[in-house]
Amino acid sequence: MTTKDTLIKKLKDKTANIAILGLGYVGLPLAVVFGEAGFNVTGVDPDTRKIEAIGRSESYIPDVKSEAVANLVKSGRLKATTDFSILQNMDAVSICVPTPLRKTGDPDMSFILSATEELAKYMHKGMVIVLESTTYPGTTRELLLPKLGMEHDLTVGEDWFLAFSPERVDPGRKDWTTVNTPKVMGGITNACGEVATAWYEGAIQTVHQVSTAEAAEMAKLLENTFRMINIGLVNELAIMCERLGVDVWEVIEAAASKPFGFMKFTPGPGLGGHCIPIDPLYLSWKMKAFNYNARFIELASEINTNMPRYVVSRMLEAMNDRGMLLKGSRALVLGVAYKPDIDDVRESPSLDVIGLLRKKGANVEYHDPYIPHIHHETDGWRMDSVGDVMSAVRKADAVIVVTNHKVYDYAAIVNEAKFVFDARNATGKIAKGNPKVERL
Ligand code: SAJ
């Protein structure tokens, strides 16, 4: 039997030992999914707090129940360690580490590099490696391949196998999970794609195999660039509708009545999260090496990045129209998470809105039931969420809805507030013709 056949057999009969490098919002759910499918899984992460939590059968990822962790730990199917040397006993390794942007806007590959350098020490014949972290096209072939195969003189596609499979985890979503969300898989060689697909098909319902790692890397970037550009489009539509005196929310609802050929996106105070504002910039960054300017991405990014400033300028104007001064006023920001009904504040435009309001001289407070404290890394300020939202609404001169959590009673807020600027159309019909409310 060839190395490939032997490995595929171990993957299919689930005797293969699995390692997940990086136990964050992608890695821990994946580890649980492989464990529940019958594999023996070892999670590896340098963060001892994560390892200790798993050791106590506790989950620190909202989408993963502690009960699921407990069952796997008890049955011995899930272990966790900070010790990378266990990789020498592993047959299959999935790399799920962060790929943020540097302050300069360039990709920060440090997490992928350090995971790869550790893994390279323990590479042996008969291993399959899958990179899941979102990255620029070419990363798997240009960065992982030379480092992983070289040290042990192994031939990729024969002695060992390497592929890319983009994560598609949408934190908080209940309908599409790690198990039932189709997974794209692309290998460095056909044999690599075949082995990696055989592995993932043992735990994930649908694996969509493509011909190369680059195709898989690019598919992920298309998915998220599609969103970022369409959000940029409706944000610019909001700016144009305001100039035209047309209600952008009415226009979008009308367009969304088209049952085909249209997908609804809504304007807002900007783009937050660790995916949509960041992933497309990996592609535009890579294209610079080919002397190609990814204009759609650059333009959408410029529009989205400017939305916090646009929202504050609209609020300033609306208050002025009502004889109200923003400077020295009490301004209450509702919602700082990057999207409704979650507890994640990463890249949230709310932080920029608050910073701009503070620069305009407003006395700013915020409320968010999911985010008790915030701090602005560059400007250095820190704030705590006010406790009682309605008393804060009553005291405020102006309320601005930045993240439209479902928990808020918008009718009561409009009723009690002196003025509301609604950047998310959370007030909807209540706002129609109501002099106390201005919408984006
Ligand atoms: N946003 C708008 N208008 C919209 C949609 C989103 O302003 O019409 C804003 C949100 O407020 C947020 C940002 O854009 O600040 C991103 O929102 P998102 O709905 O794209 O949510 P994310 O960032 O959690 O995106 C994830 C992505 N999942 C992965 O990358 C694995 C994305 O691919 C999913 O499609 C998306 O969730 C989803 O569908 O919810």
Atom of ligand 1 nearest to the CA of 171: 24
| Separation CA 422–CA 279 (nearest Å) | 28
Q: Which residues contact 106 (CB under 8 A, 6 or more apart)?
A: 285
- 107 falls within a domain: yes
Return the pLDDT at 104: 78
Among residues 155, 184, 211, the one where a domain terminates is: 211
Best residue for ligand 1 mutational test, from 227, 307, 440 (most atoms within 8 Å of Cβ): 227
Instruction: Count Cβ neighbours within 10 Å for each residue of 257-294 and write b for 16 or more, e otherwise.
Output: eeeeeeeebbbbbbbbbbbbbbbbbbbbbbeeeeeeeb
φ/ψ of 391, rounded to 5, equals -70, -35
Does one domain contain both 381 and 272?
Answer: yes
Q: Which of 167, 339, 344, 370 to mutate to test the pocket of ligand 1 (most atoms within 8 A of CB)?
A: 339
Residues 203 and 290 in one domain: no
Give the pLDDT band (50/70/90) at residue 214. very high
Asked if residue 273 and residue 367 are part of one domain, the reply reads: yes
Distance (angstroms) between ligand 1 centre and the Cα of 53 equals 29
Residue that terminates a domain, selected from 187, 211, 235 = 211
Give a yes or no: residue 222 inside a domain. no
Do 235 and 204 fall within a single domain? no
Q: Please give the structure tokens belonging to residue 327.
A: 């400077």
Is the pLDDT at 389 greater than 90? The verdict is yes
Q: Is residue 220 part of a domain?
A: no
Instruction: Say if residue 252 is in the same domain as residue 170.
Output: no
pLDDT tens for each residue of 300-320: 999 999 999 999 999 999 999
Residue 81, classified by CB atoms within 10 Å of its CB into exposed (0-12), middle (13-18) or buried (19+), is middle
> How far, in Å, from the CA of 21 to the mean position of ligand 1?
25
**How far, in Å, from the CA of 330 to the mean position of ligand 1?**
31
Atom index in ligand 1 nearest the CA of residue 266 equals 8
* Closest residue by CA, ligand 1 atom 37: 170
Q: What is the DSSP letter of 171?
A: T
Give the model confidence (pLDDT) of 87-123 as tens digits: 999 999 999 999 988 877 788 999 999 999 999 999 9
Nearest residue by C-alpha to atom 24 in ligand 1: 170
Q: Is the pLDDT of residue 218 over 90?
A: yes
- Select from 211, 237, 267 the last residue of a domain: 211
**Cβ-contact 16, 202 below 8 angstroms:** no
Q: Do 274 and 128 fall within a single domain?
A: no
Does residue 219 sit within a domain? Answer: no
Span 147-156, pLDDT tens digits: 998 778 899 9
Report pLDDT for 102: 82
Q: What is the mean pLDDT of residues 122-133?
A: 97
Identify the residue whose C-alpha is closest to ligand 1 atom 9: 271
DSSP letter at 143? I
Ligand 1 geometric centre to CA of 277 (Å): 9
Which atom of ligand 1 is the closest one to the Cα of 340? 11
Residue 221 maps to a domain: no
Residue 218, in any domain of the structure: no
Dihedral class, residue 126 (left if φ above 0, else alpha if ψ from -120 to 50, else beta): left
249: how many CB neighbours lie within 10 A of its CB?
20
Place of tokens 């999914």: 33
Angle of helix 213-244 relative to helix 248-256, nearest 10 degrees?
Answer: 130
| Alpha-carbon span 197 to 218, nearest angstrom | 18
Measured CA to CA in angstroms, residue 113 lies from 48, 98, 192, 329, 428 at distances of: 20, 11, 21, 49, 47
Centroid of ligand 1 to alpha carbon of 276 (angstroms): 6
Contact (Cβ atoms closer than 8 angstroms) between residue 177 and residue 31: no
Ligand 1 atom 36 nearest Cα: 170
- Distance between Cα 304 and ligand 1 center (Å): 13
Residue where the block lists tokens 């994930």: 204
Q: How far apart are CA 400 and CA 374, in angstroms?
A: 17
Q: What local confidence, expressed as pLDDT, does residue 101 receive?
A: 85
Pocket probe for ligand 1: among 175, 231, 343, 422, the residue whose CB has the most ligand atoms within 8 Å is 231
Q: What residues form DSSP beta bridges with 373?
A: 384
Rounded to the nearest angstrom, the distance between the alpha carbon of 337 and the centre of ligand 1 is 12
Which domain range does residue 320 map to?
227-439
Q: Is 402 helix (H, G, I), strand (E, B) or coil?
A: coil
For residue 143, pLDDT over 90 is answered with yes
Using CB distances shorter than 6 Å, the residues near ligand 1 are 167-170, 223-224, 227, 231, 265-266, 268, 271-273, 275-276, 338-339
- Ligand 1 atom 34: residue of nearest CA: 170
pLDDT tens digits along 423-434: 999 999 899 889
Indicate which CATH number applies to the domain containing 175.
3.40.50.720
Q: How far is the CA of 436 from the centre of ligand 1 (A)?
A: 30
Domain total of the chain = 2
Relative to the CA of 173, which ligand 1 atom is closest?
40
Give, using CA atoms, the residue closest to atom 40 of ligand 1: 170
CB-CB neighbours of 412 under 10 Å: 12
Same domain for 284 and 373, yes or no, is: yes
Q: Tell me: do 304 and 407 sit in the same domain.
A: yes
CB of 134 within 8 A of CB of 107? no
Whether 196 and 259 map to the same domain: the answer is: no
Shared-domain flag, residues 236 and 378: yes
For residue 182, give both structure tokens: 């189709």
On whether residue 217 sits in a domain, the answer given is no
Q: Which atom of ligand 1 is nearest to the CA of 272?
A: 15
Comparing C-alpha atoms, which of 388, 386, 391, 387 is closest to residue 416? 391
Active site residues: 275
Closest CA to 94 of 180, 183, 177: 183
- Rounded-to-integer distance, Cα 20 and Cα 17, Å: 10
**% of the chain beyond a pLDDT of 70:** 100
Averaged pLDDT for residues 380-397: 96
pLDDT band, residue 242 (cuts 50/70/90) = very high
Query: What CA–CA distance (Å, rounded) separates 182 from 170?
Result: 13
Q: Same domain, yes or no, for 321 and 392?
A: yes
Instruction: Specify the residue with its C-alpha closest to ligand 1, atom 26.
Output: 170
Q: 322 and 177 in one domain?
A: no
Query: What's the average model confidence in pLDDT over 203-232?
Result: 97
Residue nearest atom 27 in ligand 1 by C-alpha distance: 170
